Amino acid sequence: MNELMTVTLYLGVLVLAAWPLSRPLAALMSGTGLSKRGSSIDRVVLSLFGLKNAPGQTAPQWVTTLLTFSLLEILVLFLILGLDGVPWELSLNTAVSFVTNTNWQNYAGESTLSPFSQMVGLAVQNFLSAACGFAVLAALVRGLVCKESQDLGNFAVDVVRFTLYVLLPISVVYALFLVSQGVVQTWTTSVTVQTLAGTTQTLALGPVASQEAIKMLGTNGGGYFNANSAHPFENPTGLSNFVQMLSMFLIPAASVFAFGRVVRDRRQGISLAVVMTLLFVLAVGLAWWAESSVAGSATGNMEGKETRFGIFPSVLFSAITTSTSTGAVNAMHDSYTALGGLVPLALMHLGEVVFGGVGSGLYGMLLMVLLTVFVGGLLVGRTPEYLGKKIEPREMTLISIALLVTPVVTLLGTAAGVLWPDAVKSLNNPGPHGFTEILYAYTSAANNNGSAFGGLNGNTPFFNLTLAAAMFVGRFGVMIPVVLLAGSLAQKRSMATTSGTLPTHTVTFAVLLIFFLFLLAALNFIPAWSLGPVAEALGGAF
């Protein structure tokens, strides 16, 4: 009963926080400032960045700007990390990781990086990578709304507005809240204390709260400390744990409601929110059953979990962090039961569309909606169109590419990791669990999540380079088709709804959408699940 009340409270507070935030997000999606009253401030802000009269961009221009900006970010962060003496392959992995919103970490932050690298390098990328994700979403939404136009807005304007109007002010307030809970925020790198046992201990410190706020709000996930949100200096109390979980879903959930506002049919946003919520509750329930129903244990599986949180808050956190692209952890996923570990893995294999990352979650779900509209419409003899835009072969080609990029990268990376002799030596566990560790790593990288099964030593040249490649292709291999899809949709005429149009806000369509989500994941990953967590579970490791 306490578990049900916790989920109900969490979802209730989420809706209360996300609904009002959807209004400014809708304005930004539409390509305007926050309000007419703020237009003068908007002009001043854009002037500071030389963007006051920035023209709209076509899809090819948008893609060129996105890639140029991202590659420049990777180069700058790579050079910053080099100042700390980080090996080049690890620097490259980390630079690609934070620019792609993955935040995979093959290092211990408190002992590897300086406060300068953490703040100027990593924290800045936490803002910019989240803003890039939202900008791509805005381009797709405009493509659905525009009529016979090539203008998708301006990439740089969207990044600046979203960063300064949404991410920055919320992060400032959020960081102050975290400090009040006991999260450290100081330029001091360490302090030596005397324990109750009479021994001395050196504790790592740093500017943690400021990075922790944007880490969660921007669905980034990279922790200042190696233990991430299981560390008491990052997540000290039950209240901080609840707020961190809330903040991961905040912008993605608000974006779903904002989508309904922009397309002038709130039923569209609400129906997507209901689908996402049902999938989320199902995932939490399965993981909770797997972790609490351990044969021979009255307390369930507490291995790898913080006693100050317990099993259910840990399970809830893991479902949220892998539903989104956050990847932060307050418990070690490698210590979960075989079926408990399958749940976060499967959530990533669904495409992280259960609210998902900032921008990426909703545009990933919209890809599935368009696929469902096309196939479902053909099955029942209805016109394949969505929000008045016909879905034709060109659009389906781009949708198919975007949906297949991450599974292909995941499976190819996993195959390479299993076959490469030196890669196998990085495993601490043999058999199905070791296979799952490799599968999880490439799943996390290709889906830009960043969480990991801790039994794999990823800090080797092979894993640093191959995971960097998986993160880069997984991010931009999806973003580019999405922007091109937006450009194709924007040029179409808007068709009037007729009796032949498949309604997309009904219960029937929601069921069809869930079916296709599971079908796509199953066709891609059931063999891999069978070799990893399912084989481990059947072997008795429940």
Q: Kindly list the averaged pLDDT for each block of 10 residues, start to end, along the chain of length 542.
A: 88 97 94 65 83 90 96 97 94 97 91 90 96 97 91 94 95 97 93 88 92 95 92 95 97 97 94 96 95 78 90 95 93 92 95 94 96 87 85 94 97 95 85 94 96 88 96 97 96 80 88 94 95 88 43
Taking the CB of residue 320, how many other CB atoms lie within 10 A of it?
Answer: 27
Name residue 277's amino acid: T
* Local structure of residue 203 (DSSP, 8 states): E
With CA atoms as reference, report the closest residue to 459 among 432, 430, 422, 434: 422
Q: Is 388 helix (H, G, I), strand (E, B) or coil?
A: coil
**How far is the C-alpha of 225 from the C-alpha of 208, rounded, in Å?**
9
Asked if 175 contacts 213 with a C-beta cutoff of 8 angstroms, the reply is: yes
3-state SS assignment for residue 441:
helix
Tokens of 328: 């932060």
pLDDT score for 36: 52
| CA dist., res. 386 & res. 317, Å (int) | 34
pLDDT at 378: 82
Closest CA to 432 of 527, 517, 302: 527
For 184, residues 6+ apart whose C-beta sits below 8 A from its C-beta are: 205, 206, 208, 209, 233
Distance between CA atoms of residues 257 and 272, nearest Å:
9
Contacts of 400 (CB under 8 A, 6+ apart): 371
Rounded alpha-carbon distances, angstroms, from residue 359 to 231, 261, 352: 28, 16, 11
What is the torsional sign of CA 390, 394, 400, 405? negative
CA atoms of 352 and 350, how far apart (whole Å): 6
Buried b (16+ CB within 10 A) or exposed e, 368-406: bbbbbbbebbeeeebbbbbbbbebeeebbebbebbbebb
What's the CA gap between 253 and 281, in Å, rounded?
Answer: 15
H helix and E strand count, the chain = 21, 4
DSSP 8-state assignment for residue 28: H
Contacts of 70 (CB under 8 A, 6+ apart): 99, 100, 132, 476
Of 137, 165, 166, 169, the residue nearest 153 (C-alpha): 137
Instruction: For residue 343, count CB atoms less than 10 angstroms from its CB and return exposed for 0-12, middle for 13-18, buried for 19 or more.
Output: buried
Q: In whole angstroms, give the CA distance from residue 394 to residue 384.
A: 13
Alpha carbon distance 444, 488 (integer Å): 30
> Which amino acid, 485?
L
pLDDT at position 542 is 40
Asked whether the beta carbons of 372 and 512 are under 8 A apart, the reply is yes
> Which string of b and e fits 514-539 if b means at least 16 CB within 10 Å?
bebbeebbeebbeebbebbbbbbbee
CB neighbour list of residue 28: distance below 8 Å, 6 or more residues apart: 34, 134, 138, 158, 161, 162, 165, 166
Dist CA 109 CA 120 (whole Å): 14
| CA dist list (Å): 238 to 249, 306, 432 | 17, 11, 34
For residue 202, give both structure tokens: 């050196």
Q: Residue type at 306? A: E
Residue 73 · residue 128 · CB < 8 Å: yes
Q: How far apart are CA 192 and CA 171, in angstroms?
A: 30
Dihedrals phi, psi of 49, to nearest 5 degrees? -105, 10
Q: What is the pLDDT of residue 541?
A: 46
- Total-model pTM: 0.95
185 pairs with which residues across the strands? 207
